[in-house]
Amino acid sequence: MDLAKIGATEKGGVCRLALTQLDKEARDLIVRWATELGCTVRIDKIGNIVARRPGTNPELSPVMTGSHIDTQPTGGKFDGNYGVLAGLEVLRTLNDHGLRTIAPVEVVVWTSEEGSRFVPVMMGSGVASGAFSLEYALSREDSDQISVEDALKSIGYQGCVEPSYSPKAYFEAHIEQGPVLETAACTVGVVTGALGQRWYNVKVQGQEAHAGPTPMNLRRDALLVAADLVKGVNQIATGSSTNARGTVGCMSVFPNSRNVIPGQVAMTVDLRADSAELLDLLDTQFRKLCSECELPVEVEQVVHFAPQPFDSFLVDSVRRKSADLGYPSMDLLSGAGHDAVYLASVAPTAMIFVPCEGGISHNEIENASPKDLEAGANVLLQMIIEAAAVDDA
């Protein structure tokens, strides 16, 4: 709640875009809390913050946990922030109990996860896992042509450490951002992996014409074809698998005049699936749908993330720890991207989901109960104790 004061909105949410002055204030607070817990803090060249609690064997790779503290423009208090604060709470608990771990434990704040100000999304973890280069990330610009590098420098968070990571294990606690756990009355989501994603820009080309004098049979109505695509995308996903998603999120109509038949529609399509085969099938069906329309439809794929399974041993461990602690849990897939999805390509990775109210997130009314947040942190604590191993010496 203290962190959520920085960038707090009237409706109870948070607006704290990446690498702004508010992001700096929030980063300063995390660094202060970590330092007070006895951690050393380092900043890498893309601005990721790593707070380290030493292990008894400094030669070992660290066990890492964390998430992000940038938000959507009308974001909530919990998305990302919970994962960072749960990590700090684990360190505090280890301190309170005087537990020393053999491997070091690190809590990380990844730079610019949301993509609201800079794209690509998940920038800090993307560089950390080698998904794209540091130079590429630093040169990205916001809508005011301010580069990531300039923004990092202006808030004093471009460090000199190389952004290269290969932890022993990576964990991330996060609100679910969907309604599944709440609907099933489960406290912990055992995340078996992340859906793959294909994003497209789609354009339907018709002919604008006056809505009155143009008979129905002589029309080339771009919105009518776009409506077929909206329904088709939904049907492709609904008919394929419970682990498929199909969404049209953006649509713009030209000329968008009450008495003019739309001549052009631009829209986005977002397809997701839990296996590469299913994602390819959705892609094929979607492209077939577009090619069979009565008007020309242009399709451009703009994003492709392969499905990413998490480490099966660690996933099973989350399942067992939840049961040991008495929390009802269920397996689910992450439909959204997370820093953990990138980390999974360089380290054994698992995520712990907790319910959020009504499944609502990326919204100022985003909410989660203290009880559920505590449960997720307790599972995280047990995962870290297991992975970093308590030194009984």
Task: Report the phi/psi class of residue 191: left, alpha or beta, with left for phi > 0 and alpha for psi in -120 to 50.
Answer: beta
Please work out the total of residues on this chain that contact its own copies, with binding judged by CB under 8 A: 62
Please identify, using beta-carbon distances, which residue of 64 and 233 lies nearer to its own copies. 233
Which residue, 344, 200, 348, is CA-closest to 286?
Answer: 200
Measured distance CA(171)–CA(311) in Å, rounded: 11
Q: If you count DSSP H runs as helices and E runs as strands, how many of each does the chain have, helices first? A: 11, 16
Q: Is 362 annotated as a binding residue?
A: yes
Q: Could you say which residues in the range 333-352 bind its own copies, by CB under 8 A?
A: 334-337
Q: Is 97 annotated as a binding residue?
A: no
Q: Is 79 annotated as a binding residue?
A: yes
Residue with tokens 């077939």: 288
Which two three-digit tokens encode residue 140? 């990205």
Q: Could you say which residues in the range 209-268 bind its own copies, by CB under 8 A?
A: 209-218, 221, 223-224, 226-228, 230-231, 234, 237-238, 242, 244-253, 256-262, 268
Which two three-digit tokens encode residue 287? 């492209």
Which two three-digit tokens encode residue 79? 């998305």
Task: List Cα–Cα distances, 274 to 237, 280, 309, in angstroms.
Answer: 12, 11, 8
Site string for its own copies, 269-288 (x = CB under 8 A): -x-x----------------
SS3 of residue 146 by DSSP: coil
Please identify, using beta-carbon distances, which residue of 46 and 271 lies nearer to its own copies. 271
Determine if 205 is a binding residue for its own copies (CB under 8 A): no
Q: Which DSSP string corresponds to 157-182?
A: ---SB------SEEEEEEE-SSSHHH
CB of 312 to its own copies, least distance (A): 21
CB of 26 to its own copies, least distance (A): 22
CB of 316 to its own copies, least distance (A): 22
Return binding residues.
Answer: 68, 79, 114, 174, 362
Residues of this chain that interact with its own copies (CB under 8 A) are 176-180, 183, 195, 197, 199, 207-218, 221, 223-224, 226-228, 230-231, 234, 237-238, 242, 244-253, 256-262, 268, 270, 272, 334-337, 359-363
